[in-house]
Amino acid sequence: MKLLQVDTVAQAREKLKKAIQGLEVKVQELPVEDALGKVMAEDVHAEEDVPGFDRSTVDGYAVRSADTSGASENLPTILQVTGEVEMGCAPTHGIGPGECMYIPTGGMLPPGADAVVMVEYCELFSDMEIAVYASVPSGGNIVYRGDDLHSGRVALAKGTVLRPQEIGLLAALGKQRVQVVKPWEITIISTGDELIPPGGEMNPGKVRDINTYALQAVAKKTGLEVCGCHVLKDERDLLKETIWEAMRESDIVAVSGGSSKGRKDETASVIGELADGELLTQGLALKPGKPTILGYDASTETILLGLPGHPSAAMIVFQLLIGWLWEDRSGQKKSWPIPAELTVNIPAAPGRAVCQTVQLVRDEDGRRKAVPVFGRSGLISILTKADGYIMIPENQEGLKKGETVDVFLI
Amino acid sequence: MKLLQVDTVAQAREKLKKAIQGLEVKVQELPVEDALGKVMAEDVHAEEDVPGFDRSTVDGYAVRSADTSGASENLPTILQVTGEVEMGCAPTHGIGPGECMYIPTGGMLPPGADAVVMVEYCELFSDMEIAVYASVPSGGNIVYRGDDLHSGRVALAKGTVLRPQEIGLLAALGKQRVQVVKPWEITIISTGDELIPPGGEMNPGKVRDINTYALQAVAKKTGLEVCGCHVLKDERDLLKETIWEAMRESDIVAVSGGSSKGRKDETASVIGELADGELLTQGLALKPGKPTILGYDASTETILLGLPGHPSAAMIVFQLLIGWLWEDRSGQKKSWPIPAELTVNIPAAPGRAVCQTVQLVRDEDGRRKAVPVFGRSGLISILTKADGYIMIPENQEGLKKGETVDVFLI
């Protein structure tokens, strides 16, 4: 029985991380409206206060709060209306004791005022006078200049993933463009004499090419850019030449193949020849995912990845290694797993981690349950039935029914 | 004090759902590789069995399992090797008792064989003979024809969101194109004399246009397509004309404005004139989100939406109403909230639901905590500090510290 010196997922991650540690993070500049989902490559400082002036948060009357002290429904305070703040303009004058001005939501607070009474608590007596039926504390219904962001401060930090609210904040800061981490470019290569493209005619022994499509989609979902796809016959020279070509324009070259006799070793040896020195990893202590190969070439700055031929295993390994590396590299927050109660025991042999796919369901009481999706290795339909996966570490002999596990969505 | 007849979020949702119930779901056909994240508009049936033949899941020898019965490390069984299954080809012959054939992972099982022994448990004596050191049950290391998918069965149901694994499954079925739900097209209109675009120069009283950018991003994240954006001065005729133009090409027209004197009423009255009959909703019992207006025009099949001027409120209302409606309409599964323990009491007045933004953190023991992000209404930075929100229903008087709450990620 042949024993490979396999790595744990953590070891493989460390080796990858170390291999690329000298690489500069590539940056690209995008219009703010095209940056949704991208990762910020710079700290963005506020160059102006937001808001730029003290603003009312309601429609109402700008007042001196002291003037409203003690006002109630039974005992209103009468104030003199000296004018109106126009939206988008500086107030034409300030207010003195016993005076007030109408102010719309978002309007600029006039000098002398320190609060706004909501219009709902006021009654207009004449064009010149209102009754105020409630008191308002100093600062009431106002946001002050710089409450959102102070000029000079870091508004959004490097590594932030741009969600709609961050896009909004960039707009609030007057930014039209933003520096984001340039996605890695990846070439995907599938090898196998048996592969037939989706439209092609099937013959006995042939199978449809799944990995080219599944891995493209995983790469896109991870945030990478697919710069090329190749489906190759099983020929060593062709494979080597195609990988070498791809290394010149890609940050990652991922090769997945079935595993006909000797083919696995051949992919490993080709990657070994193209990578610097020896392979980083030659086998993962992970089920599924054992036949995983990692190499790195410094001259072209390319990660070389040999993936299992089974589509499910290839997708999971891609997510665990390249997905992790991209998050780590671009400084993103890790995503939140969903806790759920395991519905059955899951046995696992120590020495090898297990990535177990599960469905998430709610029982009658609304509790989250993780129901393992079992099936023979290599079935693609298992992943389509699953909502996520749980990891059983290599030093653990399985999980017990009723345990709370962390489900990572896929 | 003016009282509006406001709707709860649930009531507003029901009214929207009812308004559009007669509408046909629009469908578009996409190449499989471009369909990531889209929602399937058809059931996809398997037109061929997947796999199309009985396959080996390992590199090894195809055997009759009965021949290996009792084989062990100490007592191997000797079998005659009659040939090799070539990848991508039908086997040239079958095997009889005492015979075996080499078979690669993914290879087609030869007639007569009912199991595969992994190569790791075999030793080649000569070109013609192997010793087998382990027994294998019938069906061992095989996936049978149709194990993944049986021809004629539904492989992927309408309403499925296409993740990488579903893209892979479509490829496995030989599909090149897939019918997906055509995203709604939305026009976003921001109104206000005070609005300055990101590049523009600021003057006292002016504010940056945030909503056009934030709402575009929310719409895209929801899965919709933005077909137009307009930033308008506060002119009733211009607003009405712009909405009317947009209704001809959009499924949704969303208007957000600040709320200068009378402007809110004006947006409501313009939407009222353009919608069929009366408004669906004129105010939400939700904090933030009260000044929300909903209408529907059947002749152009357009949803008309008036949103609060505050960017955070506008984004939250958009997600709660339009995001919900799109998920419901396209038949998607609801996303999973993340349970977490509330770190402080949150008071809430009954009669109005509260959407409270929170940060998710882990304490020293790894427990998930939901830390409310408080701040004055209308600050955009609150949403950028938050990971998600929790909903306090309108019939509840707040939440207690230590309660487990469901956090919906934003």
CATH number of B155's domain: 3.90.105.10
* Contact predicate A199/B174, CB 8 Å: yes
Q: Indicate whether B208 and B296 sit together in one domain.
A: yes
Q: Please, what sign has the CA dihedral across residues A299, A303, A306, A311?
A: negative
* Contact predicate B171/B54, CB 8 Å: no
Q: Indicate whether A187 and A313 sit together in one domain.
A: yes
Q: What is the mean pLDDT of residues B344-351?
A: 90
Per-residue pLDDT at B366 exceeds 70: yes
Q: Which residue of A has its CA nearest to B73?
A: A1
Q: Where do the DSSP E strands lie in B59-109?
A: 60-63, 77-84, 99-103
Q: How many CB pairs under 8 A join A and B?
A: 305
Q: Please, what sign has the CA dihedral across residues B168, B171, B173, B177?
A: positive
Amino acid A263: pLDDT: 62
Task: Name the domain boundary from A143, A173, A206.
Answer: A143
Per-residue pLDDT at B281 exceeds 70: yes
Amino acid at residue number A176: Q
Amino acid B314: pLDDT: 94
Q: Indicate whether A253 and A376 sit together in one domain.
A: no
Interface test mutation site (partner B, options A59, A105, A108, A150, max chain B beta carbons within 10 A)? A105
Contacts of residue B303, defined as CB under 8 A and 6 or more positions apart, other chains included, come to: B16, B19, B20, B251, B252, B253, B294, B295, B296, B322, B325
Q: Is A129 helix (H, G, I), strand (E, B) or coil?
A: strand
| CB-side neighbour CA atoms (13 Å) of B224 | 28
Q: Indicate whether A212 and A357 sit together in one domain.
A: no
Amino acid B34: pLDDT: 96
Nearest to A147 among B208, B311, B379 (CB): B379
ipTM entry: 0.90
Q: Indicate whether A322 and A372 sit together in one domain.
A: no
As a whole number of Å, the CA-based R_g of chain A is: 31
* Contact call for A336 and B207, based on CB within 8 A: no
Place of tokens 């709707």: B7
* Contact predicate A100/A149, CB 8 Å: no
Dig out the tokens for B138 from the structure. 């019938």
DSSP B106-143: TPBPPTT--EEEEGGGEEE-SSSEEEE-S---TTTTEE
Q: What is the mean pLDDT of residues B283-291?
A: 90
Dig out the tokens for B304 from the structure. 């008309």
DSSP A7-20: B-HHHHHHHHHHHT
Assigned domain for A3 exists: no
Q: Indicate whether B173 and B127 sit together in one domain.
A: no
* Contact predicate A68/A122, CB 8 Å: no
Cα B327 from Cα B336, distance rounded (Å): 13
* Contact call for A210 and B383, based on CB within 8 A: no
Task: Name the domain boundary from B329, B350, B379.
Answer: B329
Residue A168 has φ and ψ, to the nearest 5°, of -60, -40
Cα B254 from Cα B233, distance rounded (Å): 16
Q: Indicate whether B309 and B293 sit together in one domain.
A: yes
Partners of A375 on chain B (C-beta within 8 Å) are 147
Assigned domain for A4 exists: no
Name the minimum distance, in Å, from the CA of A232 to any CA of chain B: 13
Q: Is B13 helix (H, G, I), strand (E, B) or coil?
A: helix
Contacts of residue B276, defined as CB under 8 A and 6 or more positions apart, other chains included, come to: B295, B296, B297, B298, B299
Assigned domain for B1 exists: no
Assigned domain for B90 exists: yes
Residue B385 has φ and ψ, to the nearest 5°, of -85, -15
Question: Cβ–Cβ contacts within 10 Å for residue A109, how many?
Answer: 25
Question: Shortest CA distance to A309 belongs to which of A293, A285, A325?
Answer: A293
* Contact call for B261 and A104, based on CB within 8 A: yes
Q: Is A34 helix (H, G, I), strand (E, B) or coil?
A: helix
* Contact predicate B254/B187, CB 8 Å: yes
The maximal CA–CA distance of chain B, rounded, in angstroms, is: 98
Nearest to B104 among A163, A216, A261 (CB): A261
Q: What is the pLDDT along chain A (410 residues), one digit of tens a residue?
A: 344 579 999 999 999 999 999 999 999 999 999 999 999 999 999 998 999 999 998 889 999 999 999 999 999 999 999 999 998 899 999 999 999 999 988 899 999 999 999 999 999 988 799 999 999 999 999 999 999 899 999 999 999 999 999 999 999 999 999 999 999 999 999 998 889 988 888 888 898 999 999 999 999 999 999 999 999 988 899 999 999 999 999 999 999 975 445 566 788 889 999 998 789 999 999 988 888 999 999 999 999 999 988 899 999 999 999 999 999 998 888 888 999 999 999 988 888 999 999 999 999 888 999 999 998 767 888 899 999 999 999 888 899 999 999 999 99
Amino acid A262: pLDDT: 59
CATH code, domain carrying B255: 3.40.980.10
If residue A102 lies in a helix (H) or strand (E), which one and from where to where?
Answer: strand A99-103
| CB-side neighbour CA atoms (13 Å) of B41 | 16
* Contact call for A221 and B163, based on CB within 8 A: yes
Q: Provide, rounded to the nearest whole percent, the portion of chain B with pLDDT above 90.
A: 76
CATH code, domain carrying B389: 2.40.340.10
- The domain tally of chain B equals 4
CATH code, domain carrying A134: 2.170.190.11
Question: Shortest CA distance to B291 belongs to which of B323, B327, B324, B255?
Answer: B255
Assigned domain for B168 exists: yes
* Contact call for A208 and B50, based on CB within 8 A: yes
* Contact predicate A142/A291, CB 8 Å: no
Contacts of residue A208, defined as CB under 8 A and 6 or more positions apart, other chains included, come to: A195, A196, A197, A198, A202, B50, B171, B172, B173, B174
Assigned domain for B33 exists: no
A4, β-bridge pairs:
none
Q: Indicate whether B77 and B104 sit together in one domain.
A: yes
Amino acid A291: pLDDT: 87
Amino acid B234: pLDDT: 86
Cα A255 from Cα A269, distance rounded (Å): 13
Q: Indicate whether B274 and B240 sit together in one domain.
A: yes
Q: What is the mean pLDDT of residues B201-225?
A: 94
Name the residue range of residue B165's domain: 39-49+149-181
Q: Indicate whether B199 and B261 sit together in one domain.
A: yes
Name the minimum distance, in Å, from the CA of B80 to any CA of chain A: 19
Nearest to B384 among A165, A259, A360 (CB): A165
Q: Indicate whether A32 and A172 sit together in one domain.
A: yes
Reported as a pLDDT band with limits 50, 70 and 90, residue B263 is low
Amino acid B161: pLDDT: 94
Cα A215 from Cα B167, distance rounded (Å): 9
Helices (H), B135-261: 164-172, 211-222, 236-249
Q: What is the mean pLDDT of residues B246-250?
A: 97
| CB-side neighbour CA atoms (13 Å) of A86 | 8
Assigned domain for B59 exists: yes
Name the minimum distance, in Å, from the CA of A174 to any CA of chain B: 4
Amino acid A277: pLDDT: 77
Query: B106-134, pLDDT tens digit by residue?
Result: 899 999 999 999 999 999 988 799 999 99
Assigned domain for B4 exists: no
Residue A15 has φ and ψ, to the nearest 5°, of -65, -40
DSSP classification of residue B129: E
* Contact predicate A394/A8, CB 8 Å: yes
Question: Shortest CA distance to B259 belongs to which of B304, B310, B294, B209?
Answer: B310
Q: Indicate whether A200 and A166 sit together in one domain.
A: no
Task: Name the domain boundary from B273, B295, B329.
Answer: B329
